[in-house]
Amino acid sequence: MSALDDALALTARWCAIPSHAGDPASQMRQARELRSWLSGELGAALLSSSPSETEPAPVIHARIDSGLARTVLLYNMYDVMPATPEGWLRDPWAGGIADMPGIGRAFVARGAENNKGPLAGMLIALRDLKRSGRLRVNVEILLDGQEERASPALRRWLAAPDCPLRPSVGALFPSFCEYGGGPPRLYLGFSGMAKGRLEVAAGGWGGPARAIHSSNAPWIANPARVLVDVLARIGGPETGELAQIDLDADAARVVAALARDFDPAAELRFRHAACFARPRYGCFDPEALLRHVLTTASFNIATLATDPVAGDAVIPAAATAAFDLRAPPSLAPDALVAGIRDLLAAEPAFAGAALCVDDSYPGARVLESAAGVRALHDAYAGGPAPQVWPWAIGAAPAYAFGRHTESFLIGGSGRGGNAHGVNEFLHIEGFGRFIASVSAWIQGMAA
C-alpha cells in the first residue's frame, strides 16, 4: 500500500472514534490507540503523559532519538467536536468517500480535517522517513487531547519546571493549509483568545426566580432583555469589534506582500458568506481587508439561550451568551476581559450580569527569519507560492511552546473543510501533497 492509502485507512479508523469531551470513554480509547501506534508502528519511545494515563484526554509525549544534533517538534491533536448524522453525506462516526461538488473525491467524517486526517498523515510521513533511513533529526511528538477546550493540560505540562520535552530548533502543527482550495498559507503567529459565558440570572437586582407570564414585563425585569442590553454595549455592531492595533513595520511588509495576490471573492466563498461586514473596509480592497481582520480584536457571540429554553410569552429566569474573544498577538485578552468587567461594574442596570471566563491565553508570533519558516516555504515547492500571513486570525496556544522551541508554525499542503460543521472532509488528492509537504519540512529542518 502507498503512504496515501495507509494514511486514509488510519484516518478512517481514528475518525470512527468519537473522541470529544462529551465521550470520555472514547477519548481514552483514542489515547490508547495512539500510544499503541506510536510504540508499535513508529517505534517511538513513550514518555510521560498528562494529566495521567488514566485521564480521558492526556497529553501524549513520544520521542524518536536518532542520536543526532538537531531536534524538531511535531504537535497535533486528537480531540474533535461532537456531531449528529443529520445533513451528512456519510455518517460522521463511520466516514466514507464522497464526490463533493466543486471539490472532488473526498473522505467525509468528523475529524477528517480537524485534525485526525492531518494527524494520521503526519505520523505516516514520519514512519516512512524512519523506515527509509531518511530521518536525520530527533523528533519530539506531542499529541493534545484537549485542543478544542483551549489545551489546559498541555499548557500546564509545558509550563512545568520539570517538563521532559527536549529543546527543538522548530515546531510544526501539520494541518491542511490550502484553505478553500487556494494557495497554501504560512502563518508566522497566532491570535490570543478568551472564551466563556455572559450570564444574567434573577436575584436581588430583580427578575423572576422562575419563568413567569410576560404580561409582567412592565414591572418585572427580564434577564434576557438585560443580556441583550449588555451585549449591545460590548464591541461594535455586527462583529463585536473591541479594539485595534497598529501594524508594526515587519507585519505591514508581510501584509502588503500578501495583499498582492489575495482574492477577497475567493475568501467569501470559503467562508460561505455573501459579503463582508459593514463598513465594507474599502469594499474589495485586499490590503484594507487584511489590515482590518489582522489588527482587530473581537467579541464573538457563539450561542444565546434562556431558561427555560423554549419559553413562550414568558419572562425567563436567566439568559446566557457563550462568547469567544480573539485578539492579535500584541493585545492581551485578559486586558480586554477586564475592560468588559469594568463596563458591567459601572452600570447599575447591569447588576445582574456576570462574566465567567473559562480560559484565556495570549497570542504569539515570529519573524520570517525564524527557524522552520524557510523549511516550510521549501516544503510547498512545486505548487503555488504560499500566502504568508503575519499571524493567523485563529488562536492556538503557541505562546506555551516558547521556552521549548525557536518557532511554532502551522503548515502543510492539502485541502480540507467544514471543520466543526456538517460534512467535514479532506480532499483525497490533496492528502498526498500534505504527506509529502510534512516529509519535506522534517527533512528540510535537518539541513
Mean pLDDT of 118-131: 98
Chain-centroid distance, C-alpha 272: 18
Q: Confidence band (pLDDT; 50, 70, 90) for 346?
A: very high
Specify the DSSP element, H or E, that contains 10: helix 3-15
**Predicted pLDDT at 271:** 87
274 burial type by CB count under 10 A (0-12 exposed, 13-18 middle, 19+ buried): exposed
Tell which residue, 267, 272, 254, has the closest CA to residue 387. 254
Range of the domain at 238: 193-361
Tell which residue, 367, 363, 431, has the closest CA to residue 400. 363
**Percent above pLDDT 90 for the chain:** 88
Question: What is the DSSP pairing of strand 387-389 with strand 185-187?
Answer: parallel
Q: Is the pLDDT of residue 53 over 80?
A: no
**61 and 179 assigned to the same domain:** yes
**115 and 211 assigned to the same domain:** no
Mean pLDDT of 138-148: 96
Q: Which of 304, 334, 361 delimits the end of a domain?
A: 361
Return the residue matching grid coordinates 457571540: 301
Report which DSSP code applies to 366: -
Ranking 163-177, 219-233, 268-282 by mean pLDDT, the lowest is: 268-282
**348 and 429 assigned to the same domain:** no
Looking at every residue in the chain, the average pLDDT score rounds to 94
Q: Is the pLDDT of residue 365 over 80?
A: yes
Q: Which of 336, 361, 386 delimits the end of a domain?
A: 361
The CA distance from 45 to 40, in Å, is 10
**62 and 182 assigned to the same domain:** yes
CATH number at residue 260: 3.30.70.360
pTM for the model: 0.90
Q: Which of 343, 361, 379 delimits the end of a domain?
A: 361
